[in-house]
Chain A
Amino acid sequence: MHEWSVADAVIRTVINWAEENHVKEVTKVKLGIPSYSFLEVDILKEAFDMMKKDSVLDHAELEIVIKEPTFVCKNCGYEFSSNDVKDQLDTVRSEFGEEYPLHLMPALAPSFLKCPKCGSHDIIVKSQDITIDGIEVKESGTAETVS
């Protein structure tokens, strides 16, 4: 269900961007989502298609790129991937179910994940935010925007 909120956020942001930039038709939105949020791509696309109607996004396609974040432990310097903490992610998901905390808020990662080497919560997550990484428009070809 949370995918509908994400779709809402994306649509409102792009509509505002289009207004500010006098764009009349958006053809594609490239959305980056962190893998460990486990957002359902099909539901996200369905929500996007339902909510975009009668807007500048009416004919826009949603392209989703799953970002594999890199975790860096500030305590011991160890770099690791979400695969290295898969057991920890599985534990959190089994405790909470579908709407588990990192699904709703990927930025909560340091609260639920520990460095697999030293056990510290003092970790930095690269590529943890949901970002609009590019917007394609009809009038002027491609407009790239980076978060």
Chain B
Amino acid sequence: MEPLRQLAKEKLSGRKIFAVMSAKGGVGKSIFSAIFSLVLSEKEDVTLIDMDIHTMASSKLFGFEGKLHEVSKNGIEPFNIGRLNLISLSGVVKNNYVILPGGNQSSVMESLISFSNLKGNVVFDMPPGLGDELLVLEKLANNYSPLVVTTPSKVSIKVVKYLLDYIEKEKGKKNVSLVVNMAYFNCDDKIVKPFGSVNYDELKYEGYSFDKIVEIPIDPKIEDYIGRIQDYSGEIKEKIKNDFLK
């Protein structure tokens, strides 16, 4: 009998759960997760859980690197940014690297969820790939809404199809959103697509269907906000606010 799994399931029950995911690394999941969560938290309590337990990028984005979570009778207390609550393994291990065999990864992810004091709806920043993290998510919260992140690059699209095949075709998910990150940038009011365009008709022809498709721009200014992403109010945030959550 596994008490942690039971507690994690109960803690997630009744909450709306968004899983920001990709089969491909380096497509910008963490930055998207952070800004998406910030936008959501303008209206309601949100807990962002960084499930990428090896890179722990979220704490770096928000400036909590090296800081530890407090632990109360209610469990691991999240870092607070207004109504956004951040849970990261970095708040348990500080600046230490995390190297774990597969079974331990699942256990750490379950512990992170079960022992945290969750508030409001939950956004999971998932690690890349189709490993333990995906299986853990399905065990604990099968009703999650997938936000699948890719770039327009052909290799990224090809790799992301593995994930889409799994969650759409095998699991029958109908509420999949496709987030095409780094899709374009504004150059003197002219739209430039440095990584090319996604052929959405071809995706449709191949049987993929999406609840929503959102193209996110490149904003070089975002680099100035690493460590204080909560202060960012540029076009990526506007795009998510206007095209995604309206």
Binding site for B on A (CB under 8 A): 1-2, 4-6, 8-10, 12-13, 16-17, 47, 95-96, 99, 101, 104-105, 107-112, 121-122, 124-125, 128-132, 135, 145-147
Within the complex, what minimum Cβ distance (angstroms) separates A143 from chain B?
A: 11
CB of B6 within 8 A of CB of A108, answer no
A-B contact pairs, 19 of them (CB 8 A): A1-B72, A2-B71, A2-B75, A4-B74, A5-B7, A6-B3, A13-B2, A96-B68, A104-B92, A105-B111, A108-B98, A108-B100, A109-B104, A111-B93, A111-B97, A111-B99, A112-B96, A128-B107, A147-B1
Chain A contacts of B97 at CB under 8 A?
111
Chain B contacts of A95 at CB under 8 A?
94
The one of B4, B72, B93, B99 in contact with A101, judged by C-beta atoms closer than 8 angstroms, is B93
Within the complex, what minimum Cβ distance (angstroms) separates B49 from chain A?
A: 14
On whether A107 and B1 interact (CB within 8 A), knowing A2-B115, A9-B7, A12-B7, the answer reads: no
Within the complex, what minimum Cβ distance (angstroms) separates B113 from chain A?
A: 11
B108 on the A face (CB < 8 A): yes
CB of A5 within 8 A of CB of B114, answer yes
The one of B2, B92, B115 in contact with A147, judged by C-beta atoms closer than 8 angstroms, is B2
Residues 85-110 of chain B: 1 if any A CB is under 8 Å from the residue's CB, otherwise 0? 00000001110111111011001100
B93 — nearest CB in chain A belongs to which residue? A101
What is the bound-complex CA distance between A17 and B112, given in angstroms?
23
Chain B contacts of A109 at CB under 8 A?
104
Q: Classify chain B's interface size.
A: 20 to 34
Chain B contacts of A124 at CB under 8 A?
101
Chain A contact residues, majority secondary structure: helix
A50 — nearest CB in chain B belongs to which residue? B73
B7 — nearest CB in chain A belongs to which residue? A9
What is the bound-complex CA distance between A95 and B94, given in angstroms?
10
The one of B73, B100, B107 in contact with A1, judged by C-beta atoms closer than 8 angstroms, is B73
What is the bound-complex CA distance between A121 and B115, given in angstroms?
25
Within the complex, what minimum Cβ distance (angstroms) separates B68 from chain A?
A: 7
CB of A13 within 8 A of CB of B1, answer yes
Instruction: Count chain A CB atoms within 10 A of each CB in B72, B93, B104 and give the residue with the most.
Output: B104
The one of A9, A17, A110 in contact with B99, judged by C-beta atoms closer than 8 angstroms, is A110
Chain B contacts of A146 at CB under 8 A?
1
On whether A131 and B99 interact (CB within 8 A), knowing A105-B112, A108-B104, A108-B108, the answer reads: no
Chain A contacts of B72 at CB under 8 A?
1
